[in-house]
């Protein structure tokens, strides 16, 4: 029997316990072993949860029990989650987590500790909820050259933007609705500021190229300033407003960014609505791949945690390279120096625009304003080229 401890018995932690019990027969068949929750550590009173007899308040009790081989960390925040995870690894216990804040800030250190102690540190649930994107990078895409990753990686922001588009809601009203439905936290700052999305794209970048970039150094723009005019602009350009994280392969510093974008209608990311997430991967000879599913929620995320538990039980001896990356000493390429595609609304006539040192595609012309797509240009060069016209709106485009 494999005995585990759960750190944090909130939405995801309780979901893991429930799924382990409800799906015990299938999990036993997949793992070749029974999985038993021996301890639950949480600051809350667990009376009525069914796990009162397994509740502990001290991490030391878990660390000193040799029968516990796997610790599931779902506490949220970086402390004490990081300290507890590191202590568990040093005690010879594998750790699985849904905590993207810890992975994005301390992942390299924790992976190194896991390697040194012959155990695993796995974090499938930290990106994309129930989407098995990290397992795909580990296995199916291992021999591929990854050129670019675009992702809608936060269910809260995608739900808000969907309601703004479909129902004409304001940002504030859509956020209030997301809170009522449980899609947004009481404090949604990490979601709406883009910080949560930024951590996740840094983790995906590390999986693709082996270097973890500090998310604090990445250009990150959230959705708090989005209004009806931005939705109307996206529609006029032939697309939809989405918060998109992008990382592009580079011989030098990595190119990462998070920002509201016009996702053109022909791009499959444009159809991702509500709390769903999606990741589009340009995978070299394999072409473009799309991963889609519930990006958040109790059971999708808990299922990803359980998938890591099963991965540990199936690959006990494979601790040297599994999801391994290192800290990156270089900062990402500056956003305004990185080439992207842009949708722009300008006040100008066609002749004036044609005379400028750039190539554009006209998307729409209305009331003396031109909606244009300008591809593969750095933002600083874009504004320099458009110096002679009035720019009303400019947003990164995903074509």
- Round to whole Å and give the CA distance between 101 and 345: 37
Residue 330: per-residue pLDDT:
65
Q: Is 291 in contact with 133 (CB distance < 8 Å)?
A: yes
CA distances from 237 to 150, 263, 374, 394 (A): 19, 9, 12, 11
Catalytic residue among 105, 200, 242, 248: 200
Strand order in the sheet with 35-41: 55-56, 35-41, 2-7, 68-73, 94-97, 121-122
Residue 223: per-residue pLDDT:
98
Classify residue 237 by its DSSP letter: T
Residue 382: per-residue pLDDT:
95
Q: Is 395 in contact with 262 (CB distance < 8 Å)?
A: yes
Q: Which of 159, 157, 244 is nearest to 198 (CA)?
A: 244
Annotated active-site residue 200? The verdict is yes
Residue 331: per-residue pLDDT:
73
**Number of alpha carbons in the 13 Å side-chain half-sphere of residue 259:** 18
Each residue's pLDDT, cut to its tens digit, for the chain (399 residues) gives 999 999 999 989 999 999 999 999 999 999 889 999 999 999 999 999 999 999 999 999 999 999 999 999 999 899 999 999 999 999 999 999 999 999 999 999 999 999 999 999 999 999 998 899 998 988 888 888 899 999 999 999 999 999 999 999 999 999 999 999 888 888 999 999 999 999 999 999 998 888 888 899 999 999 999 999 999 999 999 999 999 999 998 877 789 999 999 999 999 999 999 999 999 999 988 999 999 998 878 899 999 999 999 999 987 766 665 677 877 666 787 888 899 999 999 998 898 889 899 999 999 999 889 999 999 999 999 999 998 789 999 999 999
Residue 203: per-residue pLDDT:
93
Residue 364: per-residue pLDDT:
96
Backbone angles phi, psi at 109, to 5 degrees: -65, -40
The owner of tokens 């809260």 is: 156
CA distances from 398 to 241, 261, 341, 390, 395 (A): 10, 7, 7, 23, 10
Q: Is 192 in contact with 226 (CB distance < 8 Å)?
A: no
Residue 90: per-residue pLDDT:
98
Helices (H), 67-150: 81-90, 100-116, 133-138
Q: Which of 120, 118, 93 is nearest to 38 (CA)?
A: 93
pTM of this structure: 0.92
Residue 322: per-residue pLDDT:
61
Pairing of strands 361-366, 148-152: unpaired
Can you read off the two tokens belonging to residue 191?
A: 């979601």
- Round to whole Å and give the CA distance between 243 and 201: 12
Residue 40: per-residue pLDDT:
98
- Round to whole Å and give the CA distance between 261 and 248: 16
Q: Which positions ≥6 away from 363 have C-beta within 8 Å? A: 236, 237, 238, 343, 371, 372, 373
The owner of tokens 């499959």 is: 268
Residue 336: per-residue pLDDT:
83
- Round to whole Å and give the CA distance between 385 and 376: 13
* Domains of the chain: residue spans and CATH: 2-129+299-327 (3.40.50.720), 143-295 (3.30.360.10), 335-398 (3.30.70.3100)
**Which residues are bridge partners to 240 per DSSP?**
263
């Amino acid at each position: 029997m494999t005995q585990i401890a759960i750190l944090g018995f909130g939405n995801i932690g309780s979901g893991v316990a429930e799924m382990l019990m409800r799906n015990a027969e299938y999990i036993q068949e997949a793992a070749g072993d029974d999985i038993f929750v021996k301890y639950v550590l949480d600051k809350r009173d667990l009376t009525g949860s069914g796990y009162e007899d397994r509740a502990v308040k001290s991490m030391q009790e878990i660390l000193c029990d040799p029968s516990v081989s796997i610790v599931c960390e779902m506490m949220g925040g970086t402390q004490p989650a990081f300290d507890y995870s590191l202590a568990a690894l040093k005690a010879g216990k594998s750790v699985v987590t849904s905590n993207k804040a810890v992975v994005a800030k301390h992942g390299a250190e924790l992976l190194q500790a896991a390697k040194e102690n012959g155990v695993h540190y796995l974090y499938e649930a930290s990106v994309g909820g129930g989407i098995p994107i990290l397992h795909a990078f580990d296995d199916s895409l291992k021999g591929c050259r990854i050129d670019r990753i675009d992702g809608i990686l936060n269910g809260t922001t995608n739900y808000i933007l969907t309601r703004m588009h479909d129902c004409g809601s304001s940002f504030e009203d859509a956020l209030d609705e997301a809170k009522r439905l449980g899609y947004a936290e009481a404090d949604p700052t990490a979601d709406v500021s883009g910080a949560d999305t930024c951590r996740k794209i840094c983790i995906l970048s590390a999986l693709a190229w082996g270097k973890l970039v500090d998310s604090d150094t990445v250009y990150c723009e959230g959705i708090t300033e989005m209004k009806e005019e931005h939705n109307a602009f996206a529609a006029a350009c032939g697309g939809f407003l989405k918060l998109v994280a992008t990382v592009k392969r580079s011989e030098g510093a990595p190119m990462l960014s998070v920002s509201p974008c016009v996702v053109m209608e022909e791009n499959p990311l444009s159809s991702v609505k509500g709390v769903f997430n999606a990741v589009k991967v340009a995978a070299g000879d394999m072409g473009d791949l799309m991963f889609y599913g519930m990006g958040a929620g109790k059971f999708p995320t808990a299922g990803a945690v359980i998938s890591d538990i099963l991965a540990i039980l199936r690959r006990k001896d494979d601790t040297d390279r599994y999801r391994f990356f290192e800290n990156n000493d270089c900062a990402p390429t500056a956003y305004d120096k990185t080439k992207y595609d842009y949708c722009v609304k300008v006040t100008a006539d066609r002749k004036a625009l044609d005379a400028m040192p750039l190539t554009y595609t006209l998307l729409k012309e209305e009331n003396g304003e031109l909606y244009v797509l300008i591809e593969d240009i750095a933002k600083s060069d874009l504004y320099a080229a458009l110096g002679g016209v009035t720019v009303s709106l400019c947003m990164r485009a995903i074509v």
